[in-house]
Structure 1
């Protein structure tokens, strides 16, 4: 596998891991909130399975995360990151692409929908407005920093990461909480599989998505993995099976036309 650097239009350098595949098909990964390209190893496991199936794989750290350049973490920034990564993958000879995204990364993927992406698998996707108790997530000192400066630092706790902290803003929290489900669902143009854990922590997310799916013009399916937690990392075998079946159905071996 090769370590690569991808530069976005705004000049931010993204760190990534790329492995060539057979043919012209590739899978692009989009990690969750303040995570990195490994996504607590779930993406490493999934990437291996996709490579066995013949796909090239590209795992990237979003800007402000992992080994990528510093930046305030927002949906808009990560949308640009994902589109830049997709364009880079196309330049390497893989114009038929699928996205595998998790949690906040799934929201980014739905907003970004790069032109060469033909199907997506989204685990633990955020698809509608939710009321998050931020005072239970962040310390009083962090929230005071956000109030005074408009941004706050969040320590990086990803295993093996050399990054000290990521930076988020008021916009980041709004991106997380104020999601226009109708807007993103009505413009979802590619076949998309939504996968959730069956444990209580994913219940609200699952209900939101189930309620909104009739708005989506593209083929969609919702799968719940019994007993699994958010992101289904504890049942990654089930995710692999569901994802490979979905991509086998919806990702052609060559681009039509």
Structure 2
């Protein structure tokens, strides 16, 4: 079922909601410049969660997918995520868990909507990342960022009708200015960190291993053997681990 969720700042978010038999629901947070389908990985995971008895809500962050235009920043995504969670609660789903991927993990870990009881984050950012932006964006885009503070990035998501997304200098700073102690020290719900085996060659896993002790609640880190960063080739294992984590940390009557 296609739904529209309006944020406090008046931005309309496009989502896909599928009801469940009880009060439990999974809310998804997609990665950088992706959309609610997350290259189909969220569609596959949502189906597995519904089979296990959860309702699911996949939505496009503002400035992505079919949602309204906006600059893609963690600050905006936090408001989007909280708005989506509040909408779920209004539909009768107060027992929510969150599945976030990559850049979406920052909004998840920082935003932590009030109704979220547990989280699974795949390929999560847990500390400052310094990417070679000059190898990722064109000289023209970097010049535009320097001169105007924003630039447009073509949307290459499958089946997307969006022409481009807009990023800003703040977007790039969202990657490089992560304070690990502040980020992980304020986590209030149990969180499972999942990484692909390929992530072990990057700083993502190194920083997560160093920072997991900062999480003041239940936390675990798992490496999914044979998986890439996107996990798309091992989603069966991701779903199994996530469902076990949610079952362990949701109240029995939720």
- What's the TM-score once normalised by structure 2's chain length? 0.98
Contact 1:25 1:253 in 2 (8 A): no
Query: What displacement does 1:254 show?
Result: 3.6
Query: What displacement does 1:233 show?
Result: 1.2
Kindly tell me: are residues 42 and 245 of structure 1, through their superposed partners in 2, closer, same or farther at Cα, counting changes over 3 Å? same
Report 1:67-86 matches (<5 A). 67-86=66-85
Report 1:16-35 matches (<5 A). 16-35=15-34
Query: What displacement does 1:201 show?
Result: 6.5
Q: 3-state SS of the aligned residue for 1:224?
A: strand
Contact 1:96 1:253 in 2 (8 A): no
- Unpaired runs of at least 5, structure 2: none
Number of residue equivalences: 254
State the partner residue of 1:180: 179
Kindly tell me: are residues 160 and 202 of structure 1, through their superposed partners in 2, closer, same or farther at Cα, counting changes over 3 Å? farther
- Unpaired runs of at least 5, structure 1: none
- What's the TM-score once normalised by structure 1's chain length? 0.97
Contact 1:25 1:95 in 2 (8 A): yes
Q: Distance in 1 between matches of 2:145 and 2:39?
A: 27
State the partner residue of 1:145: 144
CA deviation string 1:70-105 (max 9, x = no partner): 000000000000000000000000000000000000
CA deviation string 1:212-237 (max 9, x = no partner): 01111110000001221102111111
Query: What displacement does 1:203 show?
Result: 3.2
CA deviation string 1:198-218 (max 9, x = no partner): 115653101100100111111
State the partner residue of 2:190: 191
Q: Distance in 2 between matches of 1:200 and 1:78?
A: 24
Query: What displacement does 1:245 show?
Result: 0.6
Kindly tell me: are residues 103 and 200 of structure 1, through their superposed partners in 2, closer, same or farther at Cα, counting changes over 3 Å? closer
Kindly tell me: are residues 4 and 233 of structure 1, through their superposed partners in 2, closer, same or farther at Cα, counting changes over 3 Å? same
Report 1:100-115 matches (<5 A). 100-115=99-114
Q: 3-state SS of the aligned residue for 2:125?
A: coil
Q: Distance in 2 between matches of 1:254 and 1:117?
A: 15
Query: What displacement does 1:50 show?
Result: 0.5
Q: 3-state SS of the aligned residue for 2:120?
A: strand
Q: 3-state SS of the aligned residue for 1:72?
A: coil
Instruction: Tell me which stretches of 4 or more aligned residues in structure 1 moved more than 4 Å.
Output: none
Q: Distance in 2 between matches of 1:20 and 1:27?
A: 10
